[in-house]
Chain A
Amino acid sequence: MTNKKKAKEKPKELGTEKDLEQLRESTKKIYEAHREKDEDDFPPERRQEYWRNRYFARTAWEHAENAAFANLVDEQKSMLPALAASNAKLARDVQATTDALAMLDLVSTSLNVLAEVITILGRVIPR
Chain B
Amino acid sequence: MRVDLLLGNSGRHQKAMRTTDCGANTPMLATRSGNSLHSGPRRADRRGLSSSVHLGWALLLFIVLALSTCATTQVQRAAQLGVLGKTYAEAVTLAGDEAMATTITFSLAEIRKERAGGAFPTPEDRSQALKNQIEIIEQRQRMVETSNQLLALLAEYFADLEQFAKQDISTSFETATGGLVDSINKVGSTVESNTQAKAKISDAERTSLAKLSGLVARQVHGQALARVLERDASMIGTQLKLMSKILATYSEWIRARSDMELKEFYRDRVVKPFVATGDLPGKWEQDVRHYLQGTNLSAQLAKAKAAGDRMERFWAGYLAGEISIGDVVADLKDMERLLQEISTFNKAWADANVSKPN
Contact = CB atoms under 8 A, between A and B. Distances in A.
Contacts of B172: 101
A70 B169 contact: no
B303 to A, nearest CB: 20
A114 B187 contact: yes
Interface residues of B, number: 72
Q: State the main secondary structure of chain B at its contact with A.
A: helix
Contacts of B7: 100, 103
B47 interface: no
A111 B117 contact: no
B55 interface: no
Given A76-B242, A100-B6, A115 B186 contact: yes
B282 interface: no
Contacts of A89: 228, 231-232
A92 B2 contact: yes
Interface stretch (B22-30, B175-183, B199-207, B286-294): B175-183
A96 B227 CA distance: 14
Contacts of B263: 35-36
Contacts of A119: 190
23 contacts: A32-B260, A51-B117, A52-B120, A55-B110, A55-B120, A58-B114, A62-B103, A66-B139, A75-B242, A83-B150, A92-B2, A93-B5, A93-B224, A96-B4, A96-B6, A97-B167, A97-B224, A99-B2, A100-B3, A101-B169, A101-B172, A108-B182, A115-B183
Interface of B: 1-7, 103, 107, 110-111, 113-114, 117-121, 129, 132-133, 136, 139-140, 143, 146-147, 150, 153-154, 156-157, 160-161, 163-164, 167, 169, 172-173, 176-177, 179-180, 182-184, 186-187, 189-191, 193-194, 221, 224, 228, 231-232, 235, 238-239, 242, 245-246, 249, 253, 256, 260, 263-264, 267
